[in-house]
Amino acid sequence: MKEFVAYIVKNLVDHPDQVKINEVGGTHTVILELSVEKSDIGKIIGKKGKTINAIRALLMSVASRNGIRVNLEILEEPNEGEKEPSAEEEPSAKEESPKEQPVEEQPQEGQ
């Protein structure tokens, strides 16, 4: 199953060398953890999730023939670059506060 998903995903993304699939198996359930380059996540998910849902449907069909259950998860690997944008979000929230204050002051001046 891992090879099946790898074949499909590698043909969808721009960076097939960055596709990593980890298979976590139990007795009747297999969890496939898919990791791709950040810029390729949208290609895997597709509009309104149609692409990932189609891949999952194919997986379920193959799994049911083998008498097992399968779950496909897309992992977003945290790295140092992701910590910085969250820090950038805080100043933007601070920037919005001063903008809100003049808006509140303008109606008061008009009254």
Tens digit of each residue's pLDDT (9 = 90 or more) over 30-84: 999 999 999 999 999 999 999 999 999 999 999 999 899 999 999 986 554 444 4
Which residues lie below 8 Å from residue 97, measured CB to CB, with a gap of 6+?
Answer: none
Tens digit of each residue's pLDDT (9 = 90 or more) over 14-43: 999 999 999 998 888 999 999 999 999 999
pTM: 0.66
Domain count within the chain: 2
Q: What share of the chain is helix, strand, coil (3-state, %, to 5)?
A: 65, 20, 20
Cα(93)–Cα(26) distance, integer angstroms: 45
Q: Are residues 46 and 84 in the same domain?
A: no
Q: Are residues 15 and 30 in the same domain?
A: yes
Q: Are residues 111 and 69 in the same domain?
A: no
* Residue-range definition of the domain harbouring residue 40: 2-77
Q: Are residues 43 and 25 in the same domain?
A: yes
